[in-house]
Structure 1
Amino acid sequence: MFRGLHNVTMDSKGRIAVPAKHRDVLSKLIVVPNPMPGESCLLVYPIHEWEQVEADIVSRPNSGSVRQLKRLFLGQAVEYVLDGHGRVLLTPSLREFAGLDKKLVMVGQGNKFELWDESAWTALRDGEVDDGAAFVEELESLSF
């Protein structure tokens, strides 16, 4: 399970180092643009989790919205294997999609990480939630 927040730095070539404690699970990973409108981050899946997501999408009837999801999600997925230093070189298109600069944040989501530019993450964290009422309602439904 991926939880917590990890600050990472992207070098001038576009490489990021996966946090050491997650390198075994993320030795082979998939990075894909988040398909949710208004959430400009990348999703980082270990290969075994990605295969489940991919199988679910592929198994759906080939309607117009599913074809669009396949194009935007499956079609832009990039497979990586960590180099000897535990790094991946993000493609320019992925970096551009998420507006990634030097300082990044990996946010645990259970089965995956979200990879955000630090300034975008800070804005989201500090209250720029699209639907505040729905968020509060969801919080109230949790028992913690």
Structure 2
Amino acid sequence: MSGTSYLGYGLNAVDVKSRLSVPATFRDVLTAKSGGKQVLVGPGHAGRRCLMAFDQTYADRLLAGIDGRHGDAVTPEAYAERAYLFGSAQPHSIDDAGRIVLSPVLRKISGITSHVWFVGSFNYFELWDPWAFKALPDLPELQRLQVEGELEARGLPIAGPAA
């Protein structure tokens, strides 16, 4: 199951050129599902201030779900759902070092600054500013301890970067 599912978490830095390394386990899933040299990245869903990353296989499933709800309808709701999911997602090439480059727009809407907290979500994965993720009001304590442990292991401040 793990070879075709995004499981686990990771913490990686964003460099001065806005590059960040996608965790190897997530790259392995991308490779298994769609060749691994590209990932679609767009705004989070359900009001989550993060980024959502997925492969073409999951994009096809998302489209099938939209078509199942709306068919060929030309309603404002159908257009809005398609435009949000597919108009907001950008394809990102993964370089030979396993990195992608986040656009300034994606960084701004997600609040990502110096580091990215990756969270596996089975069919996709999320990219968060680790301090924003840690501050989620309904976050289970185990997840808070995971992100705090990773921040601490890297010598990063638990409360967030100095302003």
TM-score bracket for the superposition, by shorter chain length: 0.7 to 0.9
Preserved contact between residue 45 and residue 52 of structure 2 (Cα < 8 Å) = no
The Cα offsets for residues 91-143 of structure 1, whole Å up to 9 and x where unpaired, read as 1111111011012111111111011101111001xxx139xxxxxxxxxxxxx
Matches within 5 A, 1:1-144: 1-26=5-30, 27=36, 28-37=38-47, 39-58=48-67, 60=70, 61-124=73-136, 128-129=137-138
Q: 1:81 to 1:24 in 2, by over 3 A?
A: farther
Quote the Cα distance in structure 2 between the aligned partners of 1:19 and 1:6: 6
Worse-superposed segment, 53-62 or 4-13: 53-62
- Structure 1 residue runs of 5 or longer lacking an equivalent are 131-144
Aligned-pair CA distance for 1:35? 3.3
Q: Secondary structure at the match of 2:7?
A: coil
Aligned-pair CA distance for 1:69? 1.8
Identity, in percent, stands at 30
- Count, aligned residues: 126
Preserved contact between residue 49 and residue 111 of structure 2 (Cα < 8 Å) = yes
Q: 1:44 to 1:68 in 2, by over 3 A?
A: same
Larger helix share, 1 or 2: 2
Quote the Cα distance in structure 1 between the aligned partners of 2:26 and 2:121: 13
Q: TM-score normalised to the size of structure 1?
A: 0.79
Letter paired with 2:21:
A
Q: TM-score normalised to the size of structure 2?
A: 0.70
Aligned-pair CA distance for 1:62? 3.0
Worse-superposed segment, 58-67 or 114-123: 58-67
Quote the Cα distance in structure 2 between the aligned partners of 1:129 and 1:62: 37
Larger strand share, 1 or 2: 1
Higher relative contact order (CA 8 A, sep 6+): 1
